[in-house]
Homo-oligomer: A and B are copies of this chain.
Amino acid sequence: MEIPHPYHLFLGDVADRLGAKTGIGIVDWRREWCLGQLRLPGCKADAGISDMTVAEARAAGAKTFVIGCVNSGGSLPEHWVDTIIEAIESGMNVASGLHIRLSAVPGLADAARKAGVELFDVRHSSERFGTGTGAKRPGKRLLTVGTDCSVGKKYTVLALEKGMRDRGFDADFRATGQTGVFISGRGVSIDAVVADFISGAAEYLSPAADENHWDLVEGQGSLFHPAFAGVSMGLLHGSQPDAFVVCHEPTRTTMRAVQTPLPSVQQVIDLTILAGSVTNPDIRCVGISINTSALDDDEAKEFLARISADYDLPATDPVRYGVEVLVDRIETEFGK
């Protein structure tokens, strides 16, 4: 799957910034591929790029209309369809990370055929996976885990890819969600795999590699999230990480879209080691990644210093302060 860029990002009328995290993530890591955004009336998200109509984006050279927003459950609201058809008729491909296939939405397949454009369903892999084996593979792996969904797991591995490569590591980002696949042009939307094959798909995603090669696997959900822990568990087993980084947003009290209280960083470390030991007895935590966007600079630094001391682990906000301290720790623990 190779999705043509530049992109025109569709943010729908999502109720908050998290609802548009796909689009915002693409802009963060592939700003040069994004010509503009299209927001419907009532949209509460902003990817920070120019608002453009379909006609304007097309005139500027946009090749793919990317549905950069999600609603819980992954369906596609009917009132988005007209805009998507307008994009198709203008000559843009459409790419979506929703659970529902674009071709299953009445009208889209016909319009795409007529316009001679393609529909990309990033969540649906054409690959057939086996069940997991649990067998140890050569190469090193790092997985991000979290106290919740949407706490920076993808961001942290992307920042680590850049930071580790800058320091001479042989490291590759491995995408497990739609945004990551949009950003890297490959990967597996792990939450769209049939349940029996979650860990098998994760094994496929980070195959045997050179002993000093690092696969940096994008984590999903949380082992404590009542909707998504199954995905997190299978991904942990299949990734068999040597190292993991815990991602956390310190002002959140309940997990995303549910009323369940957030677990502590310690609970996540303990359960990740307990469960991860099944496929890698040497699994260890190498740091904590904090989304400090709700804190001012003094508060953020104080919070990071305290949590670092409490856990005797490096702690940083990759967006604000980089990932040097995490790369230092990886180099100390594993060499280069």
Chain B residue nearest in CB terms to A130: B73
Chain B residue nearest in CB terms to A271: B274
Stoichiometry (number of copies): 2
Do B131 and A72 touch (CB < 8 A)? Answer: yes
Do B198 and A230 touch (CB < 8 A)? Answer: yes
Do B224 and A199 touch (CB < 8 A)? Answer: no
- Among A191, A224, A230, the one with the most B-chain Cβ atoms within 10 Å of its Cβ is A230
Considering the chains assembled together, what is the distance between the CA atoms of A237 and B72 in angstroms?
18
| Residue A279 CB within 8 A of the other chain | yes
Which residues of chain A in 191-225 are interfacial with respect to chain B, using CB atoms and an 8 Å cutoff? 191-196, 198-200, 223-225
From A52-60, A107-115, A132-140, the one touching the partner chain is A132-140
Do B260 and A271 touch (CB < 8 A)? Answer: no
| Residue A278 CB within 8 A of the other chain | yes
Do B229 and A233 touch (CB < 8 A)? Answer: yes
Do B199 and A191 touch (CB < 8 A)? Answer: no
Do A199 and B226 touch (CB < 8 A)? Answer: yes
Known: A233-B229, A278-B226, A279-B226. A131 touches B257 (CB 8 A): yes
Chain B residue nearest in CB terms to A222: B278
Chain B residues whose CB sits within 8 angstroms of the CB of A132 once the complex forms: 226-228, 258
| Residue A287 CB within 8 A of the other chain | no
Known: A134-B258, A271-B274. A234 touches B223 (CB 8 A): no
Do A234 and B230 touch (CB < 8 A)? Answer: yes
Chain B residues whose CB sits within 8 angstroms of the CB of A74 once the complex forms: 196
| Residue A259 CB within 8 A of the other chain | yes
| Residue A99 CB within 8 A of the other chain | yes
Do B199 and A229 touch (CB < 8 A)? Answer: yes
Considering the chains assembled together, what is the distance between the CA atoms of A235 and B198 in angstroms?
14
Chain B residues whose CB sits within 8 angstroms of the CB of A229 once the complex forms: 199, 233-234, 237, 275, 278
Do A194 and B193 touch (CB < 8 A)? Answer: yes
Do B231 and A230 touch (CB < 8 A)? Answer: yes
Do B230 and A230 touch (CB < 8 A)? Answer: yes
The chain A residues found within 8 Å of chain B, CB to CB, are 72-74, 99, 130-135, 190-196, 198-200, 223-235, 237-238, 257-260, 271, 274-275, 278-279
